[in-house]
Amino acid sequence: MQPDGPLRLDARDAGFDAAFDALVDARREADGDVSRDVARIVADVRDHGEAALADYTRKFDRHDPVAAGWEIPKAEREAALAGLDPELRAALELAAARIRAYHEKQRPADSDMTDDAGVRMGARWRGVDAAGLYVPGGRAAYPSSVLMNAIPAKVAGVARLAMVTPTPGGVVNPTVLAAAEIAGVDEVWRVGGAQAVAALAYGAGPIAPVDVVVGPGNAWVAEAKRQLYGVVGIDMVAGPSEIVVVADGANDPDWIAADLLSQAEHDPTSQSILFTDDADFADAVAAAVDRRLATLATAETARTSWTANGAIVLVAALDDALPLVDRLAPEHLELAVADPEPLFARVRHAGSVFLGRHTPEAVGDYVGGPNHVLPTGRRARFASGLSVLDFMKRTSFLALDPDALAAIGPAAVTLARAEGLPAHAASVAVRLGE
Amino acid sequence: MQPDGPLRLDARDAGFDAAFDALVDARREADGDVSRDVARIVADVRDHGEAALADYTRKFDRHDPVAAGWEIPKAEREAALAGLDPELRAALELAAARIRAYHEKQRPADSDMTDDAGVRMGARWRGVDAAGLYVPGGRAAYPSSVLMNAIPAKVAGVARLAMVTPTPGGVVNPTVLAAAEIAGVDEVWRVGGAQAVAALAYGAGPIAPVDVVVGPGNAWVAEAKRQLYGVVGIDMVAGPSEIVVVADGANDPDWIAADLLSQAEHDPTSQSILFTDDADFADAVAAAVDRRLATLATAETARTSWTANGAIVLVAALDDALPLVDRLAPEHLELAVADPEPLFARVRHAGSVFLGRHTPEAVGDYVGGPNHVLPTGRRARFASGLSVLDFMKRTSFLALDPDALAAIGPAAVTLARAEGLPAHAASVAVRLGE
């Protein structure tokens, strides 16, 4: 192994299975023993509302929300949009339009059917009344994330979308405000951290409670969402970003190097992994990564990520990569080959797949259309990207007439009696004239 | 208020709003400070696997799984089914067939579309590889719940469905085993409690890890699921059962009394609430409940629930009940009127709705078709009943050719640069020849 390069594995080596197991099992998420602190903050905001929220905001954000005003007024958000660089505004609006168009197709259909027994049944989808959107402050305040989180809520029909964002020292990112305006966010509050999540869940002072809380955040924010799951709905807890690239030797190594670095630059804990069947290509990509790192503005982060968590895995044939990819269940998967369909057909576990040589993952971060909020840390085995469904709920229904009840009711009576629930049985039997 | 009756409210009284607020906010879920104990159990099973699972099972279930065998063999499950009372077996098989037919219609469609810019995008649904089903021991071991939890997993295409159930003193409920056999459960393990949930999540000894854990349980089981959310997917945390009945005076009071008692008999913390516009009918229902309680085998539980948590709310018109019902967001809602459609159209928040005079809620517990695992404790504001979707996940995808990338790529470059992510920008720009 090169001292300054990523892990290099060859699937044909004797020790490969153990080494790949270790790669799959490596945990890149901090355990962060914040749960007791977060529990105290959440209880304080639940029990003391506005006063607790103000105290924590003064302490953590060096900012007095009572003096400065809790809310960022609509006029300030409109001014941020009006003051935006025209090219940036056009890019945000293109992104918003494409995200909206994609998510509008996610709206689920209601069902209403009557079966042979005469039983009418179905389900009806409705948006939640109110949703909360957490937007981190500082470096991780991404306007693209505002669009990706807010637009599905609005497409779901959420009438009230409340954004919270810490404004340390009172400072707020105007591009984030402009994105909120484009996405149709209804309220923006100058609070952050676990206390802001608790305020969204329980309500605090001027902030009315919401039904669902989404959005990225640090360990405290993630733990607060986890603790409040059940009081409100939440999106999946997110970990460090990941990309897996499956590429043959016909790719330009420099393109693939750029793709690997696009995730590596997010955070030192991010992970970029290349699978290829061409040893010379593997070396060429590694060299291209090093060349790019020499001039990349985010090289410090990207280099740490690439050397600590990156990997290049040589396989005898690209087909052999797929079971390995499924075990990683990556957030992002690029299939950089001329005909990606046969490979794609075999993928079981991935958050989002980018097909062919001209679909860099980053295009999906911004303007592709599908959501960029995706399951990380192998959670694509069971979880999906953020969608309109995260802001909706389903009400099922049943309608029986006397004939339908006569057809299926007796079985319900039998089962209720077997379960020792006589009042259940009676509520059916009494209508059957028993 | 009668000393032994439920809360009686009249929406036209001066103090109504405050009294109804108190009813909405009343918490019936035990806080149960079990989180530290559960954290220790979960960590023990994660770190020590089979040995820890065996120790906890000996301690809590007075049962040695190593001596008795961890798994309930297929032959024993088949024998339980073969030995079942024929009427009960027929009822279970009718229920299973109806639940399967309903849930098969829930399977989501994949999407694959190409837009005007030439961008191909869509999403593909797949079942998870393996799911775990918790089934409580003792009194709360309901074969109907086995069907309601297991069948959606099988419809989703889950290849491996592993059930865990505590067998205190080695005793297992044969009807539960028969239901598991009918539903197609693949494995049944003699373990329960938080340790069984941890074994499903991490794997322990002979139990391989699963991707999703569902099913009801006590406070320890619920807390274990909450703590393991993210390691695996879980269904919604469930609280005490609830029913709201909206009924006019033309109903038979005895039918409605039976419906109210069908939830009250579940648990002392269950809740049954009647809304009516007819004061005489309200009195008649209250009297009918008392008459039924005199002979009901589950009267002790039902009476406690009805007097402690039950309510009869008089409204000037049934229309006035709907905003109040939405605030309760009940698990079950009966609309017992001749024409329920106008009322149903206005319901926003309910887990499942039962339409008309001949649709007692209990028919939905067993044989209606829709799932009986439903959100409780006002969670219907944001959560849905268990469905096939809980056992599936969605992989989105994008495919661009050079023209499509030329159309939308420049906006991605602009946004990536604005966010301070130059490697993101480069991965697109390099393909645009920049």
Q: Is B349 considered catalytic here? A: no
Annotated binding site of B for substrate: 241, 263, 266, 332, 365, 419, 424
Distance of CA B257 to the CA centre of its chain: 25
Question: Which residue's entry shows tokens 């992970």?
Answer: A271
What is the rounded distance in angstroms from the CA atom of residue A378 to the CA atom of residue A361? Answer: 18
Same domain, B355 and B404: no
- Please say which residue of B178, B201, B234 terminates a domain: B234
Per the CB < 8 Å rule, is A415 touching B265?
no
Neighbours of B74 (CB within 10 A): 12
Same domain, B67 and B146: yes
Same domain, A250 and A291: yes
Q: For residue B339, what is the nearest residue in chain A, using CA coordinates?
A: A399
Same domain, B167 and B76: yes
Q: Cβ of B298 under 8 Å from any chain A Cβ?
A: yes
The CATH number for A135's domain is: 3.40.50.1980
pLDDT value for A1: 42
**Whether A241 contacts A267, CB under 8 Å:** yes
What is the rounded distance in angstroms from the CA atom of residue B213 to the CA atom of residue B223? Answer: 13
3-class DSSP state of B300: helix
Q: For residue B399, what is the nearest residue in chain A, using CA coordinates?
A: A355
pLDDT value for B32: 60
Same domain, A40 and A136: yes
Same domain, A245 and A214: no
Same domain, A208 and A79: yes
- Does B30 reside within a domain? no
pLDDT value for A52: 97
- ipTM confidence: 0.96
Same domain, B297 and B156: no
What is the rounded distance in angstroms from the CA atom of residue A191 to the CA atom of residue A377? Answer: 28
Same domain, A256 and A220: no
Establish, for the pair of chains A and B, how many residue pairs have beta carbons separated by less than 8 Å. Answer: 372
The CATH number for B417's domain is: 1.20.5.1300
- Please say which residue of A204, A234, A264 terminates a domain: A234
Per-position pLDDT tens, chain B of length 434: 445 789 999 999 999 999 999 999 887 766 667 888 999 999 999 999 999 999 999 999 888 888 889 999 999 999 999 999 999 999 999 999 999 999 999 999 999 999 999 999 999 999 999 999 999 986 667 999 999 999 999 999 999 999 999 998 878 899 999 999 999 999 999 999 999 999 999 999 999 999 999 999 888 999 999 899 999 999 987 789 999 999 999 999 999 999 999 999 999 999 999 999 999 999 999 999 999 999 999 999 999 999 999 999 999 999 999 999 999 999 999 999 999 999 999 999 999 999 999 999 999 999 999 999 999 999 999 999 999 999 999 999 999 999 999 999 999 999 999 999 999 999 999 999 98
What is the rounded distance in angstroms from the CA atom of residue A229 to the CA atom of residue A227? Answer: 6
Residues of chain A above pLDDT 70, percent: 97
Question: pLDDT digit string (tens) for A165-217?
Answer: 999 887 889 999 999 999 999 999 999 999 999 999 999 999 999 999 999 98
- Does B279 reside within a domain? yes
Question: pLDDT digit string (tens) for A208-228?
Answer: 999 999 999 888 999 999 889
Per the CB < 8 Å rule, is B428 touching A364?
no
| Token digits of residue B337 | 């009127």
pLDDT value for B237: 76
pLDDT value for B225: 93
DSSP β-bridge partners for residue A312: A8, A274
Query: Is residue A57 over pLDDT 70?
Result: yes
Same domain, A71 and A173: yes
Q: For residue B423, what is the nearest residue in chain A, using CA coordinates?
A: A262
pLDDT value for B2: 45
Phi (first) and psi of residue B162, to 5 degrees:
-110, 125
* A215 Ramachandran zone, left/alpha/beta (phi>0; psi -120 to 50): left
Same domain, B343 and B418: no
Query: Is residue A238 over pLDDT 50?
Result: yes
Contacts of A265 in chain B (CB under 8 A): 421-424
Annotated binding site of B for Zn(2+): 263, 266, 365, 424
Same domain, B204 and B249: no
What is the rounded distance in angstroms from the CA atom of residue A72 to the CA atom of residue A186? Answer: 11
Mutate to test the interface with B, among A119, A290, A344, A363 (most CBs of B within 10 A): A363
Torsion angle (degrees, nearest 10) of CA A97, A101, A102, A108? 140
- Please say which residue of B234, B261, B281 terminates a domain: B234
Per the CB < 8 Å rule, is A408 touching B360?
no
pLDDT value for B31: 61
- Does A16 reside within a domain? no
Give CA separation, A434 vs A335, A393, A406, B355, in Å: 64, 37, 11, 21
In total, how many domains does chain A have?
3
Q: Which domain holds residue B419?
A: 400-432
Q: Cβ of A109 under 8 Å from any chain B Cβ?
A: no
- Does B390 reside within a domain? no
Choose the catalytic residue: B181, B332, B334, B361: B332
- Does A95 reside within a domain? yes
Mutate to test the interface with A, among B382, B392, B405, B419 (most CBs of A within 10 A): B382
